[in-house]
A = this chain, B = another copy of it.
Amino acid sequence: MLEAHARTGIRNRLLHMIALEDWDLIGPHLEAVTLKDRHVIEVPTKPITHAYFLEMGVASVVAVDAEDHRIEVGVIGFEGMTGVPLIMGDNRAQHSTYMQIGGSGHRIPQEALAAAIAKSEGLRALMLKWAQGFMIQTAHTALANGRAKLEQRLARWLLMAHDRLTTAAVPLTHEFLAVMLGVRRAGVTVAIHGFERRGLVTTRRGQLTLVDRAGIEQIAGSFYGTPEAELKRLLGGN
């Protein structure tokens, strides 16, 4: 639980943007949580018990179908929250959501969130705009999946991760990157090797560090950037 005056210590953009008069609807219900690597937040078809406002780390939202095909459809960090369906009035998880890079955050029970959204129009508007931003991200993931090459998609992912981290180090194995991008592990290895050879990243076992962000942006081209710009527009430039 967080008192109103405690918000100064909060990094989460959404929590930060909650109007003072709405804070009583959210703050008292928040529970600080540590979120380790691979911590599972939502499981497909199961009820969503909490929404998580991340402070640190990166969560992956992964779509899964009946034949176990899977691919990442969105990433969430300190700029947003998990549990988008809750905002839409649905309490069933559609996708698999888990921490891709460990961190921390605050979570709120589904019931408390629903009550808060029902009571405050401002709160509802804020979260709907976040949901809209997340939709845009998913749409652009669909675009990248369909038309970008492996190297471009990898670059896009690294940039999105970097945006949500405080260091340039991305602690992740090739295996997990491959799952998220929906490609072979070996393909990721080769692509990363190419980045390394061009001086864009350095690597260690289970870790990858961005060195030349501009260079990576150049590779990603226009597959990166639109969702980020749109989220800024939706939530204001602060």
Contacts and interface: CB of A to CB of B under 8 A. Distances in A.
Interface in A186-238: 221-223, 225-226, 230, 233-234
This chain: how many copies in the complex? Answer: 2
A234 B90 contact: yes
9 contacts: A65-B143, A65-B223, A70-B143, A71-B143, A88-B135, A90-B129, A95-B139, A138-B138, A142-B142
Given A145-B145, A147-B69, A182-B146, A140 B63 contact: yes
A40 interface: no
A147 B71 contact: yes
Interface residues of A, number: 46
B71 A142 contact: yes
A172 B222 CA distance: 29
A188 B91 CA distance: 39
Contact of A73 (B63, B67, B142): B142
Contacts of A143: 63, 65, 69-71, 73, 182
Contacts of A70: 143, 147
Contacts of A128: 87-89
A223 B65 CA distance: 7
A71 B221 contact: no
Interface in A111-160: 118, 121, 125, 128-129, 131-132, 135-136, 138-143, 145-148
Nearest to A181: B146
Contacts of A88: 128-129, 131-132, 135
A20 interface: no
A234 B89 CA distance: 9
Contacts of A102: none
